[in-house]
Structure 1
Amino acid sequence: MENLRQFSGESENEIWQQIAADMHQQNEILEYSAQINQQDHQVYFDIDIDLGGGFEGGFETTTFMAPVNNSELKFHLYPQNWLNEVGKILGLEDVELGYPEFDKTFIIKASNPEKLKRIFADETIRQTLLKYPDCELKLSHEHDKPNARNLLTFNLDLALISPEHLREVYHVMLQILEKLGQPTLPNSGEL
């Protein structure tokens, strides 16, 4: 993450006023990375837009990440598509949360389905994620090496450059972190 901007404040409103003002000052946002420190939570987000050129097609992404200490819950939520439907027929496990539109939109794998159901009982979380049906949300180990920390990540192959949309996703990240019941400030080092 080049040019990592740092924002902190006591409230979500205070932080997002700072971010909106900073983003408004940018001529054109092709890359934007920020670290947000709010109380005992640390969340990073990154926007990357490559316009492509020549024979190359462009791409755009929005990623949010938050380190999570000692979570026993692991999950992976990703878009439902025809290939995943075939996988379900062949035995792919899919956690049903009991919300028809949400269950129809996403495939969910979880180490503890009951705990995940309690987290996604929050309608704000579900409704925000439904706005981004192509997103991927997961809580898993950062890598396969011993002592790997856990990361809560949100990925979308679309650049969210509106502070309002970014804030919605940030709010969902915070809600999930709070429901996991733990601070996310890492013990040492940065993401």
Structure 2
Amino acid sequence: MSNREFNIWEEFAKETNGKFIEEFSWHSAKTEIDYKDLKIIFDNYTLWSGKYSTIMTRIIVPFNSVDNFRFKIYNSGLISRIEKLFGGQDVKIGREDFDEKFIIKANNELKIKTLLQNQKIRNLIESQKKVHIEISDQKGIWEEKLPEKEFELSFYEDGKIEDIERLKSMLNLFKEIIDALFQMKSIEKKSTANTRYKQFGD
């Protein structure tokens, strides 16, 4: 881990009243931010493909799902790691500029349209240089499949994001999405999913 990585997560924790956790074993340092009984976790992850590796920035929010709602939103010019979610289909939300910029997949068209009618959420998504946001049933995006009803709201991007203001923008986006998911009754209140992330990446 570089000194720069350490300082970024420590500084980000200080500026957001989050908790800074130092690296341990092969796990990255990270910032954890409590929000509405959930943890928003920022860290770096090394993704291996054969003998080659790529460092990713990721954001993870574990939660217990009420309705198994899943979606994926990513830039239209990107090739998705997984082209289709289980049962997911391409969705158009009726906002021409947004529909042109992003590929949207979901297993509940009404809910994803409701989520993306929120102008704050759309504006925060559009303000990002790159976007890959999803709700999935994979731990840490690339790890093992989670137990039934346990899901993660997540974001990932190649490389290390070292812009504090951009990280704050992503934090605001995640808070807005979490609020919307609670309003749509997609997240179980007082979720116990976070207990498995006391040592995220274990």
- TM-score after normalising by structure 2: 0.65
Taking the aligned partners of 1:149 and 1:102, their CA distance within structure 2 comes to 29
Q: Encode CA deviations 1:54-110: one digit per residue, 9 max, x unaligned.
A: xx99855321100121242111112212878xx9xxxx9420011222111111110
Does 1:180 find its partner at 2:181? Answer: yes
Compute the displacement of 1:119 (Å).
1.1
**Aligned position for 1:124:** 120
Taking the aligned partners of 1:146 and 1:189, their CA distance within structure 2 comes to 11
**Aligned position for 2:25:** none
Written as runs of structure 1 = structure 2, the 5 A alignment for 1:28-39 is: 32-39=29-36
Give the greater-gyration-radius structure (CA): 1
**Aligned position for 1:153:** 154
Unaligned stretches of 5+ residues in structure 2: 21-27, 139-143
Match of 2:110 among 114, 120, 125: 114
Q: Encode CA deviations 1:128-187: one digit per residue, 9 max, x unaligned.
A: 212335321100112446436200001122432222210111111111112111445526
Match of 1:44 among 22, 41, 44: 41
CA contact (8 A) 2:42 2:57 kept: yes
Does 1:65 find its partner at 2:72? Answer: no
CA contact (8 A) 2:38 2:63 kept: no
Written as runs of structure 1 = structure 2, the 5 A alignment for 1:85-100 is: 93-100=89-96
* Residues matched between the structures, number: 162
Residues 133 and 97 from structure 1, CA distance in 2 versus in 1: closer, same or farther, beyond 3 angstroms?
farther
Taking the aligned partners of 1:185 and 1:6, their CA distance within structure 2 comes to 26
Taking the aligned partners of 2:65 and 2:100, their CA distance within structure 1 comes to 31
Alignment RMSD, CA only?
Answer: 3.6
Unaligned stretches of 5+ residues in structure 1: 8-13, 23-30, 50-55
**Aligned position for 2:74:** 78
Residues 100 and 159 from structure 1, CA distance in 2 versus in 1: closer, same or farther, beyond 3 angstroms?
farther
Taking the aligned partners of 2:131 and 2:78, their CA distance within structure 1 comes to 16
CA contact (8 A) 1:95 1:113 kept: yes
Taking the aligned partners of 1:47 and 1:187, their CA distance within structure 2 comes to 19
Look up the equivalent residue of 2:58 and give its one-letter code: T
Q: Give the SS at the match of 1:147.
A: coil
- TM-score after normalising by structure 1: 0.68
CA contact (8 A) 1:77 1:138 kept: yes
Q: Give the SS at the match of 1:119.
A: helix
**Aligned position for 2:15:** 16
**Aligned position for 1:189:** 196
Taking the aligned partners of 1:18 and 1:168, their CA distance within structure 2 comes to 15
Q: Any runs of at least 4 consecutive aligned residues in structure 1 with deviations exceeding 4 A, and if so which? A: 56-60
Identity %: 22
